[in-house]
Structures are given as C-alpha cells and as structure tokens.
Amino acid sequence: MLAAEPKSVGRPVLRKEDNRLIKGLGCYVADVNRPDQVYARIVRSQVAHAKLLGVHLEEARARPGCVAAFAATDIPDIAQKKIPVRITPSRLDQFALQTPLAVDKVRYVGEPIAVVVATDPYVAEDVAEDVWAEMEELPPHLDPLSAGGSVLHEMVPDNIVGDIDTSNGEDVDGLFRNADVLLHQRFSIHRHSAAPLEPRGLVAEADPQTGRLVVWGPTKVKHFNKRVLASMLDLPDNRILLIEPDVGGGFGPRGEFYPEDFLIPWLALRLKRPVKWIEDRAENFVALNHSREHVIDLTIAAQSDGTLLGFRCTDWCSVGAYVRTTGLTVAKLVGLHLSGPYRWRGFSSKVIGVLTNKTPLGTYRGPGEVEATFVRERALDILAAKLGLDPTDIRRRNLIPAEALPYRVETGPRSETLEYGSGNYPAMFDRLLANAGYQELKDEQARRRELGEAVGIGVACFLDQGGIGPFEQARVVAEVDGTFTGYVGVASVGQGVQTALAQILADEIGVSVDRARILHHDTDSIEDGMGAYASRTTSVGGSALVLAARQLKDNARRAGAQRFGVAEHEVELRADEVWARDGRVVTFRALECEASARFETSAIDFSFGSVLATVSVDRGTGRVRVERYVGHYDVGRAVNPLIVRGQLEGGAAQGIGGILLEELAYDDRGQPLCTSFMDYMLPTLSEVPYIETAWSEFPSEDNLIGAKGAGEAGIIGSMAVIANAVADALDPDRMVVTSTPLRADRVLGLLRASSSAPPHGISSTLDST
C-alpha cells in the first residue's frame, strides 16, 4: 500500500504559473492575434464637461487604412445601453450610468466619444486624430464639498448620487456630552490609480463556425460581464464566450465592465472581422477606474484615560462623472470599516457619493478599508498625543479582546451586521510590537533625535474583510492521464490562483500537487462564478473545489462499488483509487469520474492586521524614507506561504507608493495632470524597504479552507502607518498629517508649519468638555 501523499496545503509550493511566464510564453491579451484582425482605437473627450453637439467622422473615414469609424449616432439604442451597477446601488445611480459612447454630453476627460478601426494600430491612432467634436463647454464640478456648481446629470440636481448611513450602539450625541474629550478633524485623501503594469485590452471575434461571439481579455467578474454584454447586444448568454488570458495585475479596476467591453465586441459583430483593442498607458490613466478620493470629517469622543466612547463621521467621496459597476462600494466600505478592531459604545457615519467631472471611481485593493483605517488611526494618534498616551497604549486599551469574539457590530437598520469571527487582536498586536522590537526602536529614536534627526515610529491596526459570497462553483474531472482538472469561476489577476487551488484540490483527493491543475479561463468551463475580488479566491473558490472533490470521491466510491458488484461500504478509497476487499482496484480516471458542486456563504470574514513603520524625514528636502515596515496579519490559513507572503509584501509596497509618491491630480478645468508614469510615480526598488511580514492563523469558520484572504491585508494599514510615522517624525503632537499624499513638497510645508506654534492650517480642535 502506498504511503499517503504528504499534504501540499501549507507548504511553499513553487508556482505552476511560472514556467510559461519566465520564458516569455505568457499570453496576455496583447499577445492574442486572430487572422484578418483589425485594430480599434477609442477617441476620447479632451474636455471635462461639455454638451456634445456633434462628432465628425468624415475625415477619419477618408484616411487610407481606416476600416470604419463610429460615434453614438451609429449605434442603435445606445442611450438605453447603460453599464449597470454590479454591487452597492445607490438612490440615484440609475440616472448617472455611463453609455459606451457619449451621447449628448461629455463628463470627464477621457470619456469615449467615438471609436475608429484601422488596419494597424499606428494607423488607427492617425485615424483617431482625424475625428473632431463640436462641444459647448460647461464649467466643471470638481470639489466634492462644494454645493451647487455645475450639474453633471439632469436627474441628479445636487450631484449627490446617494448616501449610506451606519449607526451603532448608544446615541452618539449622548456619548459626546459625557466625554472627557472630543477630537474633531477633517482629513483628505487623494485620488489613486491602481496602475497595473499591463494596460487593458480586448480581442473580439464572431466565430464563423459556431456563431458565437468570443472575447479575449475579460477577467475578474467574467460571468457577470458576459450577462451584461449579452443584454446590451440583445444576444442570449450562451452565444458569448469570454476568455481570460494571462493578466498583468488587476488590483480591483481591471475586469469591471467598461465602455470598451461593449464597443469592441459590438465592432466585431458589425464588421464581421476580429477586432483588437489595446489600451495605451496615457488612456489607462484617464479610462481605468480611479479610487480613494475622499474628504472625511471625524469627531471622536473619549475619556481622558484613552477609552474610546463613540464617533461621528461624514465622508464625501468623489465618485467621478458616472457611477460605475462597483456603485457606492468604496464609500460604503469606509462607513463599515471606520470602527475597526476597537470597542466603541456607539457611532454613526454618513458616506456621500458626489459626482465630479473626473474619471469614475471603482474599487481598488482594500477599497474604503485603506481610507477608513487612515482616518481612524491618525485620529487615534492625535488623541493619544493630546492625552499623553503612547500610541500603542491607546490601542491596547481599546482593541476588542479575544474573549469578546465573535463580536457582532450592528450598523443600522438598512445596513448589514458585521461579525468579527476568530482571532486575538491584542495578542497579535503585542506580537507585532515584539517582532519589531518596539522598545528598542523608541530608544533608538530618542538617540537619533538627540542628533537632530527627524525620525518617526507609527503603528496601525485594522480589520480586513474577505471571503465574500454568495457562492462559487467548481467542477472536478479525472483526466485520462491520471491528472485532475478543477474548473472554477474565480479569476486570476496574477495572484497565483492556479497553484493555491491546485494544492487544495490535490490534498482533498490525496494526490501530489503536480497531478492537479486549475482552469478558470473561460465562461464555458463553469456555469457561473462570482470572480476574483475581496480576497475570496482561495477561501470561497477553494471551498467550492473541496465540495466538488468530495463529490468526486463519492461518485467514485459509488461507481467503483458498482463496477465490483459490491456495496459501497465495502470499498475503500486510497487517493485516486477505489479498492475492493479482495484486492481489485480501479482508478478514478478509469471510472471517468467527474463532479460539480457549489459553495454558498453569506458570511464575510474579518481578519485582524497590524503594522508598524519607521521613517526618517530629510528636513532639507522633505524626502520620507521608510526604514522598517513590519506587519503581522491573520490570514486564517496560509494555503501557500510563498504566495501569501508575496501578496502581503506586494500590497505593502503598493500602499507605500500610494502615500509617498503616487498622486492623480486635476487642474481647475478638470484636466488630468498625470497621464504617464513620469507624473504618476510608482515606487521603484529604491523606495520600497524590506517588508517584514509575519502572520497568525486563526482559521475562518465560514469556509472549508479556513483561509481569510491575504490579497488586500498588505495594503490596508499602509497609508495609516506611514502617515502616523511621518507625523511622529515631524511633530510631537502628531497633529500635522491630515491629508495625503506625503510628497516632498508637502512634507517641507509640514516641516515649516510644525516648527511654528501653534501649527497653522490645522483644523483640528480638541475640546475638553
């Protein structure tokens, strides 16, 4: 009898994805080429807000090499083809949805106004330049706080597309009245781009033999997008096949349904030729969903010993010109994550989605969570300083203790109840401080301060949510060569899903991991799926795989027993073989086994994380150098430690870039100022320190894997912890950092401000009541 195969879950299995990719044999959408293909180019508005009076295509159509050119007037019923909201609808969003081409108004620089098609991509760009539009410019509405101003959508008269209230516990006014201290602060967070290294693209072809419309390029939420596309094209769902190629990073915005996701397939049907569209980087900066732009007012009530009582918060979220598929999710998650891993007696928040003449907003890694964590953790530091408490002490005092878990947080009559499941927040926080050597860091800081250095230490604690349902499906097939294929409806955005899920599948069956493969690439392989977002691929997708594998084993047992003519209880499963008592054996593959299953969950996993960072600020140039970055996260269960570590480190690096270097700005005419990698500065190796990462595993009880997600945890605390460290470096009261980013010239301004007393420009008020 063979020895049982050692389990691969929990081991740092090297990735199956790598072999092709390190050889340059990946197939990203730009590498897909179809015979007789033509090249599309989107013509985009150069004006932020205008009535669109006409789009002129005559010159474009006359240029040699132009195959076709279309504006809204060429697409029947385009005004009714609105890109729907997938999650988090809001009151008036139906009046602020985007059509694939602008019909009578343009509302952001980059909005598609026409699409042209040519024989090669160079000529397509020539043709696009021949298109011109007649517009009547309107003043742009750019500031989410300004009431009035230009109206973007007729039926949304004050540009407020919706709002979401949360409320919890005791009456907040009462808490404020009885508090020893109230801290009021306004924070502002800048606009970010996820900026995946691969721009978007699509290749669409109407297959002449099957009559199906095949589209390469979709990812993330393929099944939803297929349904939307079918609806917009008036086709039955099964006439469309979406194929996910290799994907050069997703981070949230890639894979949502954009105007191009309609236009390119429409062109393929219209022209009866394959159509290839590859976005360039300048387009990506104005077309890919932006994220994170908020102004947030927070008032916290506390006792003088640092006990938190309650808070009230208003978030004005600049959602851009249209409500995109992720609806008001970014703002909603701010409201749900403000309270974080702490005990409060009550709180209330209102998040408001405000339309602005900028690129629309979507979810970006740790959406709303990064922002809420920044605001709350900054406020805790300011409060701690004013109360004379160490920042670690105020957190320890208020972290939800282990014995209080699972901890339920009601968030109001029209909002969901949050349940924080397993974990031990105070113990993990102490572990972080021990790993970082907190006391030694403080001592060293004191020594360096004596020498005149501006050095700071920051901490932050947060909750990460993941494992969102409602379901995933999986199908497992025993192949003739002895391998097993698992089909799943999740997606890959480069995070290693093929390896981690293969480990889960292999372990469940009892074979070595090289005998399991995962396919997720197209919408045919599995009937339905939710996709890759909210840190759910391993936990929810993996659970579906486990159920399918168990079903496979049941099927094999039944089929094997039947083959042997014995009762089911008389056969034994050993890995992928069915054994009769008399020594007869048959393999799963010989039985041609396959099975499908569906895993459903309505739970959301909340996992604790904490981070510490040290920075030194160059007083002469304003440069912030991150010296140490230490994180401790609860990943539930690390299916593949290599992949988990990679996700946590990558998320931290992205967050460090986000607060210190990256900034999407607009001028007062609504013109974007950052449309290249020279202006939007992703960090290089020189700007990212060694990220020290450790984790605990408090398994989730809401899925079969126990995993809680690691894809977003790495970024969630990054903005807060760097901001806290910089504030500590600049100012003993830690009050000066209330907005992001912390680029050199801002830091120089803060240095100037903090050297005079009281710091000016700070709208922080601290009242003793």
Partner 1 sequence: MKPPPFHYVRCSSAADAVALLSEGGEDAKLLAGGQSLVPLLNFRLARPSLLVDINHIEDLDYVREDEAELCIGALTRQATLERTSLRSCWDAIAEAVPLIGHYPTRFRGTVGGSIAHADPSAEIPVLCLGYGARLTLVGAGNQRIVVADDFFLGPFMTLIEPSEILTDVCLTAPPLGASTAFEEFSERHGDFALASVFAGMQLIDGVCSWVRIAAAGVGPTPVRAAAAEAALLGSRASDADLREAAAALASECSIRDDFHCSAKARSEIANELALRALTRARGKQVGVAGRRSEGLHQPSSESSAGEDN
Partner 2 sequence: MEQMSDQDSPLRSRTDPAVVAMVGSDDIVEVTFELNGTATTLRCSVRWTLADMLREKARVTGTHLGCEHGVCGACTVIVDGEPVRSCVMLAVQVEGSSVRTIEGLCPSGELHPVQRAFHESHALQCGFCTPGFIMLSVGLLEREPDASKGRIRDVLSSNLCRCTGYRPILRAVRSAQREMSQ
Q: Name the residues that contact partner 1, by CB under 8 A.
A: 121-122, 125-126, 129, 280-282, 437, 616, 618, 620-623, 625, 627-628, 661, 665, 667, 673-674, 676, 678-679, 681, 683-687, 689-690, 692, 743-745, 748-749
List the single partner that 196 binds among partner 2, partner 1, none, CB under 5 to 8 Å by kind: partner 2
Task: Please tell me whether residue 248 binds partner 2 under the rule CB under 8 A.
Answer: yes
Residue type, 209: Q
Residue 126 interacting with partner 2 (CB under 8 A)? yes
Give dist(CA 652, CA 715) in Å, integer.
5
Q: Using the 8-state DSSP alphabet, how is residue 174 labeled?
A: H
**Of 126 and 207, CB closest to partner 1:** 126
600: which strand partners?
471
649 binds, among partner 1, partner 2, none (CB under 5 to 8 A by kind): partner 2
Burial level of 324, CB count in 10 A (0-12/13-18/19+)?
Answer: buried
Choose among partner 1, partner 2, none what residue 673 binds, the Cβ cut-off being 5 to 8 Å by kind: partner 1
Q: Are 504 and 705 in contact (CB under 8 A)?
A: yes
As measured in angstroms, the least distance from the Cβ of 280 to partner 1 is 4
What is the chain's percent helix, strand, coil content, to nearest 5?
30, 25, 45
What is the closest distance, in whole angstroms, from the C-beta atom of residue 495 to partner 2 in the complex? 6
Closest CA to 634 of 413, 429, 486: 429
Question: How many residues of this chain bind partner 2 (CB under 8 A)?
Answer: 59
Footprint (CB under 8 A) of partner 2, residues 659-718:
676-678, 682, 684-686, 688, 690-691
Residue 662 or 733: which CB sits closer to partner 2? Answer: 662
| Contact partner, 393, from partner 2, partner 1, none, Cβ < 5-8 Å per class | none
Is residue 26 a contact residue for partner 2 (CB under 8 A)? yes
The sign of the dihedral angle between the CA atoms of 676, 681, 686, 692 is negative
Please tell me whether the peptide bond between 759 and the residue prior to it is cis, using omega within 30 degrees of 0: no
Task: Give the nearer residue to partner 1 in terms of CB position, either 90 or 696.
Answer: 696
The continuous run of DSSP H or E covering 608 comes out as strand 605-617
- Nearer residue to partner 2 within complex by CB, 18 or 668: 18
Distance CA 93, CA 419 (A): 29
Whose structure tokens read 């969102």? 468
Q: Which of residues 59-78 bind partner 2 (CB under 8 A)?
A: 63-65
CA distance linking residue 6 with residue 513, whole number of Å: 10
524 versus 679: smaller Cβ distance to partner 1:
679
CA–CA gap between residue 475 and residue 510 (Å, rounded): 17
**H or E, element range at 233:** helix 222-233
Query: Residue 625's binding partner, choosing from partner 2, partner 1, none, with beta-carbon cut-off 5 to 8 A by kind?
Result: partner 1
Q: Which stretch binds partner 2 (CB under 8 A): 145-153, 241-249, 289-297, 695-703?
A: 241-249
Closest CB to partner 2 among residues 98, 693: 693
The smaller minimum CB distance to partner 2, of residues 15 and 431, is found at 15
Q: What is the Cα–Cα distance from 614 to 561, expressed in whole angstroms? A: 63
Comparing CB distances to partner 1, the nearer of 155 and 685 is 685
Q: Which two tokens stand for residue 84?
A: 């729907």
In the chain, the N- to C-terminal Cα span, in Å, equals 76
Q: Residue 202 Cβ, how far from partner 2 at the closest point, in Å?
A: 16
Question: What are the two backbone dihedrals, phi and then psi, of residue 614, each rounded to the nearest 5 degrees?
Answer: -120, 140
Residue 652 interacts with, from partner 2, partner 1, none (CB under 5-8 Å by kind): partner 2
Q: Does 658 bind partner 2 (CB under 8 A)?
A: no
Which residue among 489, 496, 541, 636 contacts partner 2 (CB under 8 A)?
Answer: 496
Q: Minimum distance from CB of 499 to partner 2 (Å)?
A: 10
CA–CA gap between residue 42 and residue 115 (Å, rounded): 4
Do residues 131 and 60 lie in contact, with contact meaning Cβ atoms separated by under 8 Å?
A: yes
Residues 142-201 that bind partner 2 (CB under 8 A): 195-199
CB 576 within 8 A of CB 478: yes
Three-state DSSP class for residue 395: helix
Residues 263-322 that bind partner 2 (CB under 8 A): 280-281
- Point out which residues pair with 68 in neighbouring strands: 117
748 makes contact, choosing from partner 1, partner 2, none, with CB < 5 to 8 Å by partner type, with partner 1
Q: Does the protein bind partner 2 through residue 244 (CB under 8 A)?
A: no
Of 171 and 667, nearer to partner 1 (C-beta) is 667
Residue closer to partner 1, measured from CB, 314 or 435: 435
Cα–Cα distance for residue pair 308/395, rounded to 1 Å: 10
Residue 315's DSSP bridge partners are: 296, 351
Give the shortest CB-121-to-partner 1 separation in angstroms.
Answer: 6
Residue 269 or 748: the one with the smaller Cβ distance to partner 1 is 748
Give burial (CB, 10 Å; 0-12/13-18/19+) of 249.
middle
Nearer to partner 2 among residue 19 and residue 417 (C-beta): 19
- Distance in Å, CB of 25 to partner 2, minimum: 7
Interacting partner of 692 out of partner 1, partner 2, none (Cβ under 5 to 8 A depending on kind): partner 1
Whichever of 161 and 674 has its CB closer to partner 1, that residue is 674
Q: How far is the CB of 272 from partner 1 (least distance, A)?
A: 26
State the Cα–Cα distance between residues 539 and 499, nearest whole angstrom: 14
As a whole number of angstroms, the distance between CA 656 and CA 105 comes to: 38
561 binds, among partner 1, partner 2, none (CB under 5 to 8 A by kind): none
Q: According to the binding rule CB under 8 A, does residue 723 interact with partner 2? A: no
> What minimum distance in Å lies between the beta carbon of 711 and partner 2?
11
- Residues with Cβ within 8 Å of residue 589, at least 6 apart in sequence: 478, 479, 480, 481, 482, 576
Q: Return the SS3 of 769.
A: coil
Three-state SS at 549:
helix
- What residue 654 binds from partner 2, partner 1, none (CB within 5 to 8 A, per partner kind)? partner 2
**Nearest in space to 672 (alpha carbons), one of 146, 316, 321:** 321
Q: Using CB under 8 A, which residues numbered 29 to 58 contact partner 2?
A: 30-31, 33
- Is 246 or 507 the residue whose CB approaches partner 2 more closely? 246
Strand partners, 458: 613
Q: Please select the residue that binds partner 2; options are 654, 703, 724, 738, rule is CB under 8 A.
A: 654
Task: Outline where DSSP puts E strands in 190-257.
Answer: 192-193, 201-206, 213-216, 240-243
CB atoms near residue 475 (< 10 Å): 22
Closest CB to partner 2 among residues 39, 187: 39
Question: Of partner 2, partner 1, none, which one sits near residue 437, judging by CB under 5 to 8 A according to partner kind?
Answer: partner 1
Among 251, 277, 484, 533, binds partner 2 (CB under 8 A): 251
Omega within 30 of 0 (cis) for the link into 758: yes
Contact of residue 530 among partner 2, partner 1, none (CB under 5-8 Å per partner type): none
| 414 part of the interface to partner 2, by CB under 8 A | no
Nearest CB to partner 1, comparing residues 327 and 741: 741
Distance CA 222, CA 217 (A): 10
Determine if 768 is a binding residue for partner 2 (CB under 8 A).
Answer: no
Closest separation in Å from C-beta 691 to partner 1: 10
Contact 740, 750 (CB under 8 A): no
CB of 497 to partner 2, least distance (A): 11
Q: Residue ranges of the alpha helices (H) in 640-706?
A: 641-660
- Using CA atoms, how far apart are residues 412 and 427, in angstroms rounded to an integer? 30
Q: Which residues bind partner 2 (CB under 8 A)?
A: 14-15, 17-19, 21-28, 30-31, 33, 63-65, 121-123, 126, 195-199, 246-249, 251, 280-281, 493-496, 642-643, 645-647, 649-650, 652-654, 676-678, 682, 684-686, 688, 690-691
